[in-house]
A = this chain, B = another copy of it.
Amino acid sequence: MAFRLDQLADLCGARLEGDGSALVAGPATLDQAGPDEVSFLANPRYSPLLSSTRALAVVVGADLAVERRDICLLRAADPNRAFSRIVAAFASERPAVAPGVHPRAHVAADAVLGADVAIGPNATVESGAVVGAGAVLWGGCYVGPGARIGAGSVLWPGATVLDGCVVGERCVLHPGCVIGADGFGFEPTPRGWIKIPQCGTVVLEDDVEIGANTTVDRARFGATRIGRGAKLDNLVHIAHNVEIGPDSVMAAQAGVAGSARLARGVVVGGQVGIGGHVKIASGVRLAGQSGVYGDLDEPGDYIDSPARPKREALRRMAAASRAEELARRVRALEARLAALEGGRP
């Protein structure tokens, strides 16, 4: 499949500078693109590659100064979004699950399936479960007794929603994620740890996306809740009774301990740890590998473990960096002072 450059300009709403009849074979990064490929520049980190790229054409900002005259330009207000349209144009359609229930799926007799549901081979829908209209259950996924899957949601292979949990509409659950395993609660006794019953559920509100092998535990009582439009990456852990605010995003391998509450629009970097029972205000952005052990009440960027406002943390790090130099200066002071004390000039 190939497109003419003026076709690509049209479909992504870009202004073309160059030969519209040139044929484009596909999208590629600036440093890997060949002379029949289209690339893009959205992250300034890659600007230097513009001078060396072999790409036929590059999607750039509307006003970016470009010295080279031998590459075509597709000028767009949002180069990233424009390039996404080009990428999608070249992509073949992702395959779908065949409509209806695959003969090798197990759907309990009393499960309720909405219109146009598609269920793949070796999938399981247990007793009393409800699957909304247009939902797609890929092969090997699992919907537990009494669980509810909202209309238009997609469960990829191996995604698991346990008994009584609720998934909203248009959610996407990637392979291997686990919704509703027991919260991790045990009481110490002289005979060892005794399990604290985990009697609640999990609620994923509408438009939530849960990454591959991510785990969201059921609440001790009430519900662990992921707010509308929140997006969780792979291998994230959400403990019991946590609340993640709407439109929050969490990068891979982040973890949130029990009963913590994140407000709307919190941004959590990869491998971040958030302690139990803390509250995090709307607009907080946590850098990768940071750790939160107390409430964060003010919006803004935080880094380090324990997490501090970025400005303060950088100042502390700079000070710590000067410890070697400081030690030298103290040695010098000691020598000079000893000289003075000794009466020598």
A residues lining the B interface (CB < 8 Å)? 26-29, 32, 43, 45, 80-81, 84, 87-88, 90-92, 94-95, 102, 104, 106, 120-124, 126-128, 139-140, 142, 144-146, 156-158, 160, 162-164, 172, 174-176, 178, 181-182, 184, 186-187, 192-193, 195-197, 199, 207, 209, 211-213, 215, 217, 220-222, 228-229, 231, 233-235, 237, 239, 241, 246-247, 249, 251-253, 255, 257, 259, 270-271, 273, 275, 277, 288-289, 291, 293, 305, 315-316, 319-324, 326-327, 329-330, 333-334, 336-337, 340-341
A237 to chain B: which residues have CB within 8 Å? 233-235, 252-253, 270
B231 touching A184 by the CB < 8 A rule? yes
Is the contact region of chain A dominated by helix, strand, or loop, or is it mixed? Answer: loop
| Alpha-carbon separation in the docked complex, A195 to B291 (Å) | 27
B270 touching A289 by the CB < 8 A rule? no
B142 touching A139 by the CB < 8 A rule? yes
A229 to chain B: which residues have CB within 8 Å? 192-193
Q: List 12 A-B contacts (CB under 8 A).
A: A28-B221, A87-B197, A95-B163, A140-B160, A142-B175, A160-B175, A192-B247, A251-B257, A253-B255, A288-B291, A289-B291, A337-B337
Give which listed residue, B27, B106, B121, B144, contacts A124 with CB less than 8 A: B121
A104 to chain B: which residues have CB within 8 Å? 106
Give which listed residue, B106, B178, B193, contacts A175 with CB less than 8 A: B178
Q: Measured between C-beta atoms, what is the minimum distance from A94 to chain B in Å?
A: 6
